[in-house]
Amino acid sequence: MKVILASASERRQELLSRIVENFTILVSEFDEEKVKKTGNISDYVENIALGKARDVLSKVSESSIIIAADTVVSLDNEILGKPKDKSEAYEMLSKLSGNTHNVYTGIVIINTDSGKTLKDFVETQVVFSKLTEKQIKDYIATGDPMDKAGAYGIQGKAGVFVKEIRGCYYNVVGLPLNKLNEMIERVI
């Protein structure tokens, strides 16, 4: 059966290749703005992942397993998405500095043959060191924060900002491998 990843994220593609040998990429065109923020962040990321998976499902005609995910960073129940510009990246990193935040990833897997749909999420706590203005500005100058939730990527240069992690490291990167592997086993 064909496996389809509904994501253009290079990080998700690299992580998925650790547990699935062959898969195709079919990027979802789902409008994430359609999902309302109700205060329950786990529901929010699951519903975005579901929207992405259903969008790809509508474009697929062969037997497939569709995998979709969405990751957000949350500080004090405020969602920090991908920064729109350097100023917003600076604001986000300043908020995260010296604080503990949560990273949520919603995952949805659909088996097109059986119609079985699994939906779940993983939450990880991340503790940032206190950052100096220079550290934040130097990191922003690399361009790395611009396409990442919360304006940082733990797997890159921002890894030095992380003092402690409680939970799944791969969740913070964008695809919790243990949970995903368990879900794939259940949907096949």
Q: Active-site positions? A: 70
Residues 182 and 165: their CA atoms lie apart, in Å, by: 22
Residues 114 and 102: their CA atoms lie apart, in Å, by: 34
First-to-last CA distance in the chain? Answer: 9
Residues 27 and 6: their CA atoms lie apart, in Å, by: 5
- CB burial of 42-60 (b: ≥16 within 10 Å; e: otherwise) equals bbbbbbbbbbbbbbbbeeb
